[in-house]
Every structure is written in structure tokens, then in C-alpha cells.
Amino acid sequence: MLSLLLAAAIVQTPLPLNIGGRVAPAPGGAYAFGWPGVYFEGRFSGPSVEVAVDTGVEHLAVSVDGVRKAELIKSGETRLKLDRLGPGEHVVRVDKLTESQTGSARFEGFFVGREGRALPAPARPRRIEFIGDSYTVAYGVRSTTRDCTEQQVHDLTDTSLSFAPDLAARLDADYRIEAFSGRGVVRNYNGLAPGEPLPALFPRLIPGQAEPRIAANDPWKPEIVVIGLGTNDFSTSLRAGEAWADEAALRKDYREAYVAFVEGLKASRPGARFFLIQGDTFVDDVAEVAARAGATAVRITGMERTACHSHPSAADQKMMADRLEAAILEN
């Protein structure tokens, strides 16, 4: 049984958290978050739990013991009570489904009452970091047509269906996703937002806000890093006034900047293995980057791309997870 409580609740016991993704501290012990695929988990015993969030303009999924109980799609403060859960231990989870490139949502906590008991948060033995663009975000993946309005793209994006959480689940890993639709290594889709490709946004805790930034001594260290960047660098022709004289100059800049980006990440993630996705239009470029930076190139092709604006479908996302899993297990 679900009951939505809009009034302030009685003081309860907060659950310790396992947080997947970057978050920024917010007033009252809350966390603001904006990158795709952020999730929060708590563990407890007892018959009920309450979830407190401010959704902003995001859609959030709430699950208990791996079963989705609700999707929160209305903007604003929400307190959701999940009860009659049965005896024993449970895991409650909130997943960010949508991508909003400005603003942020806020997580305010999981709470149990007198009949419940807070337990240590879930933890997994591995960590994977995913860095990418709209393919990693799972842009419009719930759509059954390529034709989508801007609102439909927002509403039908579901990062929980991306290859990233799928692959992480197969490898029993916690994960972070730093991905932003339309961004590349040096050039964005159709030349938009010059000077702000994904590496320029990467240090941010909230992607649409220049501050705050990730701490230089961030303790979250992944064992595996998967990067998928390049589609937006090359999917549209150069426009007048852009920084490159021709495509050859763009590809040279892409390779040099990508090598530097990977090498910088390797310095702060000692011992991590890096896997770089090769798309159809930048196979040779990524092969060179991988060879120079000590990474593994993973060729992914043959997608049906039937989601919004010819983006990968749910089946394509599964295929990407299959190929990355095989590469990781082989290397």
C-alpha cells in the first residue's frame, strides 16, 4: 500500500545511505543532485519506510527489494510512505530517471518509525565510473518512435535502462554516471556551447552549475572507467566560425584532448582499467587514443536506434552492456 504524505511527518530515524553518483550537500542534511543516474539506497528492518525528496523537474523511481513501487513525476516536495512490506530486512532505493541539464533535485532521506530499525547501508565490492553523452544517459529510451518533442525527450529518458546500471548490476558494482547529452570531447552537437564539452563540465558536482566542484581528493575510486565520447564531435558538419579549419584539424584536436583527458583521469584513479567506446564515425580515432593512453577500445556497432531522435533503444542498451561486459571479462 502506498500513501503520499504532503504534511510534515513525525520525527523518525534516518537510514544510513549508500549514494551512487555525485551529490552536493544541501541545507538540513539533504543532498542536491543533477547528474543522470544518481541513486540513494538504505537498508532497514520493519514493515514500513518513508522517502522524502524534492523532485525539482526530475522523475524519480522508488523501489523496495528490487521491485519498483512508484515513480514520482510531480514537481516539488514529496513524502512517500511504503508500508505492509512484510517482516525482515529490506532495501529501499531512489533512482533518478530523467536528464535535466539545469537545476537539480534534492534527496532529504529515508526514515523508519518505532516499529523499524535502521541497518547499515548496502555496499558492493566493485565501483564503475561511466562518462559519456546521450547514449549513456539513455536519451528518450522509452519512446516507441524517433519523433519526439523536447518534453517527450525529458519524460521518456530513463537512465535506469542505460547500459551503465545494467553492466554495473552484472558485475555487482556501485557506479557513478557523469554524462551530458549533446557534449563531446572538444566539440558539441552542431557546434553548440563552444568551450564547454564534457571534460569542461566534468569537475562539477551539479552539471548545470559551475560551482561547487568535485574535491581534488575525492575518496570515491573506481576500479573500472567506461567512456563513450565522440558522437557529438563528429555527427554534424563544421559550421562557419568554429575553431577548426577542417575535419582533419577537428580529429587531431579530438585525439590530443581525449588522450589528455584519459591520462588526467588515470592519475586520480590509480589502478583503474579504462574502456573507450568506438562508435561508427570515430573508430580509428578511439583506437589511437586507447593505444596512447593505455586503455582498451571497445567496438560497438549495429544498433537499431529507434528511440527519440534515432537514439539507442532499450535493446541497443542491452547490446552495449553485453559487449562491454565481454571486453571487461577478457581484459
Q: Let me know if 10 is exposed, middle or buried by CB neighbors in 10 A (0-12, 13-18, 19+).
A: exposed
Determine which one of 104, 134, 143, 160 is catalytic: 134
Q: Cell 550537500: give the residue.
A: 25
3-class secondary structure, 221: coil
The candidate with the shortest Cα–Cα distance to 180, out of 129, 229, 133, is: 133
Residues 6+ apart with CB under 8 A from 59: 71, 72, 73, 96, 97, 98, 155
Active site residue 134: yes
Contact between 96 and 58 (Cβ < 8 Å): yes
The candidate with the shortest Cα–Cα distance to 242, out of 287, 197, 181, is: 197
CB count, 10 Å around CB of 273?
A: 18
CB count, 10 Å around CB of 148?
A: 19
What nine digits make up the cell of 208? 548545470
Contact between 80 and 50 (Cβ < 8 Å): yes
Contact between 233 and 193 (Cβ < 8 Å): no
The candidate with the shortest Cα–Cα distance to 310, out of 186, 167, 189, is: 189
Cα dihedral 202/162/225/30 (nearest 10): 50
Helix axis angle, 163-170 to 314-330, nearest 10°:
40
83: Cα separation from own chain's centroid: 29
The candidate with the shortest Cα–Cα distance to 29, out of 90, 103, 110, is: 110
Residues annotated as catalytic (active site), given as ranges:
134
